[in-house]
Structure 1
Amino acid sequence: MKVLDLRPRSTSCTDNPMVKFLNVINRGEDEELLVIANREDLPVGILKIIASRNGYDVAEVSSEGSVVRARLKKVR
């Protein structure tokens, strides 16, 4: 399972957490993804919509403080 940690931030627009998430999920190369993000950068509702539109199912979501962890599985 690939881990995509979107918490570290930089000033570059290509390092934006949403851009990174979209780049990985649009490629669709991974069967399973563990996405770790700050809730304000990638809200759970948006994550679910983007995942489903790109062939992924959100298998599990957990949150601790402002950090969200979501396990995505490729739908066959």
Structure 2
Amino acid sequence: MKKIEIQVNKEALDLYQSLDSKEKERFEQSVLQLLASFNRSEIDRYERLRNEMAKEAGRKGITEEELDRLLKLED
């Protein structure tokens, strides 16, 4: 499991620390779901971009393998 660090102000930290264990668990689950949805939207955005690039590459005669190689160089 990876460690996630989140920076918050003192008021938010005090509020979090005042929660009971059930409330903390619900809050943590909400944060994890939010992070997961963000990651999912980023993955979807990348896939849409990748598909558009593949279409354009096909029009210009670039093969799928060449496109993959070019994308790896940009990462």
TM range (shorter): under 0.3
CA radius of gyration, larger in: 2
- Structure with greater helix percent: 2
Structure scoring higher RCO (CA < 8 A, sep ≥ 6) equals 1
* TM-score normalized with structure 2 length: 0.26
More strand, by proportion: 1
